[in-house]
Amino acid sequence: MAPSTITRAHLTEAVYQEVGLSRNESADLVESVLSEMSDALVRGEMVKLSSFGSFSVRQKGPRMGRNPKSGEEVPILPRKVLVFRPSHVLKERINDDELGYSGGSEQAGRQPPGSSAAG
Amino acid sequence: MTKSELINTLAEQNPHLYLRDVERIVSTIFDEITEALSRGDRVELRGFGAFSIKRRGPRTGRNPRTGEAVHVEEKCVPYFKTGKELRERLNTTS
């Protein structure tokens, strides 16, 4: 099964199916969610979404870089970068489905045991 | 900005919607993204960024307290790459 790419259209469809607004309005709301998040980040705010993750802006200092092709040194100016930290819930969801771990999460939430992964 | 602040802002912009509908819209979006990633799919939101998963190979880690070597299984971690437009907006001097 080759991985596919989910876009705004898929999110719009999901909102349309789930909430029963028109497709147009669903699309507008998907866009509003993204633009509200972007605006907050541009203002320098952190965006925290429980059980998904948090986005924050980090200031990076200047440094010398190198053009990997020509070997030439190029200055990299100070800049801001966006950092996404996934929540534990998201990380667990991804590993549950991807590698088929079963159990364990309810008890301690520790890393899965190394030996007994059921096939 | 927290999820509930985001929901409140959207509810103010859309007075014709119930708060609980706005809550459902926001959670549907992030649930969809989570599900896509857990299937191994990529989520590409032009201008904002793209979510994907990266595989981390198995390795021998160490218990930092005891120094004991422990085997760490292969795992996947979510990864976000900022979109061009948002990256540029973060760096425009205001």
Domain boundaries, chain B: 3-90
- Among residues B42, B24, B87, B69, the alpha carbon closest in space to that of A19 is found at B24
Tens of pLDDT along B3-61? 999 999 999 999 999 999 999 999 999 999 999 999 999 999 999 999 999 999 999 99
Of the options 2.60.120.10, 3.30.70.980, 1.20.1050.10, 4.10.520.10, the CATH number for the domain spanning B3-90: 4.10.520.10
Cβ-Cβ contacts under 8 Å between A and B: the total is 156
CA–CA dist A55, B10 (Å, integer):
19
Residues linked to residue A57 through DSSP beta bridges, in sequence order: A82
Would you call A97 and B39 a contact, using CB atoms and an 8 Å cutoff?
yes
- The ipTM value here is 0.89
CA–CA dist B36, A93 (Å, integer):
11
Is the minimum CB–CB distance between B19 and chain A shorter than 8 Å? no
**B residues 42-71 lying closer than 8 A (beta carbon) to A:** 42-49, 51, 53, 70-71
Model confidence, pTM? 0.82
Q: In chain B, which residues have their Cβ closer than 8 Å to the Cβ of A22?
A: none
Is residue B72 a contact partner of residue B59, using CB atoms and an 8 Å limit? yes
Provide the 3-class DSSP secondary structure of residue B77: strand
Tens of pLDDT along A18-70? 998 999 999 999 999 999 999 999 999 999 999 999 999 999 999 999 999 99
Q: In chain A, which residues have their Cβ closer than 8 Å to the Cβ of B74?
A: 99
